Amino acid sequence: MLILGALLFLGTIAKAEYNSYNTKTSYFWVYDNSTTLNTNQWTTFQFGSQACNAIHVSGVFRHGARWPGDNYIMEMTPLQNKLLQHIPNIDKSPYRFLKTWKNLYPLDKEKELIPLGAQEMIAIAGRLGRRMQSFLIDKLDRLIVMSANKQRAQASAKEFYKSLIKTTTGQDRNLTTIIINNTIVRYYDKCGGVDSIKKREGFLKEYDDFRNGQFFTNATDSIVRRLGLVDTALSKDEVELIYQMCPYDRTCFSRNDWCSMLSDDEKDIMGYLKDLETYYEEAYGHPLLANNSCPLMQNIFNGMDDAIKGRAENKRYTAGIFRFGHSETLIPFFAALGMFKDSYPIRADNYKAMKNRKFNTANMVPYSANLEFVLYECANGTSAKEHYLKLFHNEIEVPIPGCGGLQCKYDDARALHADMIDNCDLESICKEPAVSAERRTLVNGVMLFLALLFSNSVKNL
């Protein structure tokens, strides 16, 4: 009996749910509940003979889980109908759910925060409130909440703030002042210089090659066979739509049916394709992508500079800044910090070798992904004070790249990024490169208009 129980238990572990869906991954699916959670664990630490106390916290958050965009919502029912038409004997098919599946996605709420996304924020803020309780408790009127102008970002900020106050004080308090600053949180918007690099021929070569390669093609074929489709094939777009609907149906409605259409290997392949796109388009494809995040880098470090100065002059200073944005807010910034950088680039031809890659967007930027810098003042008896910086990603302490250990001398961390902090010139980064005279005549108003329209429709992850 005991042995049977143990076997059943092992069986459930072996069949752990597949939870890695790039930027459509819920924070709950990747946050490890066994992560240490002690009251004030981020507030103080002992460093050799020095006692270090937090003096400032600076956070960057991606919004929580959201509804799909209208483009996806409108493609779902046609796909359902196509599959229904081409699966014979649907009543005997493992995919008979297609007969009753309803497209319940509200077009008028496209991309807005869903209840699961609010829950993610509430959980994260609750843990932060505990981890920094004695720091936060008397500084709640010295916090700044900043957001992108989108509903999902602002709604995330509100849920976060409410939960943070509740955990630290037990009080019900709504967020009343929210600073909307797209320059800092959506620095990547309308940046012509970066956009023109992305439009260069061959910029997404690795992505295109993998999408046209054997892994993706074989996966498509095996999905067609598994579904039992007759007299039709699936386009690459349709395969990708199934891959998107799987996590959307899970996060929005707790429905798993679409996920059952894909094997774990196929999901790995789709996931790699998406990671390739993100790697080249938003992170390590060109150094300007990272440089573009300088307004955010500057805002974070200036806030810490001000805290150090405020302490030294015994003046009131901002104790915490929490910013709410998008996956695109975090990804180029990760690249600027040098995070999630593998020893060599991910490419179309090294899929197998990069299976355990650092650049895995499901872990990097699930919904509600977060990055917290905590600045500490350390003192050794009465000797001079020193400042140290710690970095937390998705609530796990991580080293600051280029700095060695887990705690970094503040001046060293700042020096690593001094150029971005002190010489951030978004105008020059985003300036369109000069075009030749013949080309300029081509770039007439209509083309510019179309380009703007297009670049807006593919943005806003």
Ligand X SMILES: *[C@@H]1O[C@H](CO)[C@@H](O)[C@H](O)[C@H]1NC(C)=O
3-state secondary structure of 357: coil
User: What does the alpha-carbon distance between residue 119 and residue 125 come to, in Å, rounded to a whole number?
Assistant: 10
Residue 88 CB, nearest distance to ligand X (Å)? 24
Comparison of 383 and 457: residue with beta carbon closer to ligand X: 383
Cα distances from 33 to residues 27, 262, 278, 394, in angstroms, run 11, 27, 27, 12
User: What does the alpha-carbon distance between residue 157 and residue 185 come to, in Å, rounded to a whole number?
Assistant: 13
The answer to whether 263 contacts ligand X (rule: CB under 6 A) is no
Segment lying near ligand X (by CB under 6 A), choices 27-35, 241-249, 254-262, 402-410: 27-35
Comparison of 74 and 426: residue with beta carbon closer to ligand X: 426
Check the CA dihedral 334-339-341-346 and report its sign: negative
The answer to whether 174 contacts ligand X (rule: CB under 6 A) is yes
Least Cα distance to 67 among 102, 18, 118, 101 occurs for 118
3-state secondary structure of 390: strand
String of contacts with ligand X for each residue 292-311, x by CB under 6 A: ---x---x------------
3-state secondary structure of 290: helix
Residue 206 CB, nearest distance to ligand X (Å)? 16
Length, in residues, of the chain: 461
Residue 80 CB, nearest distance to ligand X (Å)? 28
Comparison of 138 and 221: residue with beta carbon closer to ligand X: 221
Can you name the residues that pair with 373 across neighbouring β-strands?
Answer: 58, 391
Least Cα distance to 66 among 252, 249, 242, 326 occurs for 252
3-state helix, strand, coil in the chain (%, to 5): 50, 10, 35
Rule CB under 6 A: choose which of 261, 337, 408, 420 binds ligand X.
420
Residue 209 CB, nearest distance to ligand X (Å)? 13
Residue 367 CB, nearest distance to ligand X (Å)? 13
The answer to whether 49 contacts ligand X (rule: CB under 6 A) is yes
Rule CB under 6 A: choose which of 12, 33, 100, 444 binds ligand X.
33
Cα distances from 171 to residues 118, 137, 140, 178, in angstroms, run 18, 11, 12, 19
The answer to whether 172 contacts ligand X (rule: CB under 6 A) is yes
Residue 324 CB, nearest distance to ligand X (Å)? 14
Residue 419 CB, nearest distance to ligand X (Å)? 3
Rule CB under 6 A: choose which of 140, 224, 288, 406 binds ligand X.
288
Q: Which stretches of the chain bind ligand X, using CB under 6 A? A: 28, 31-33, 49-50, 172-174, 181, 183-184, 214-215, 218, 287-288, 291, 295, 299, 380, 383, 419-420
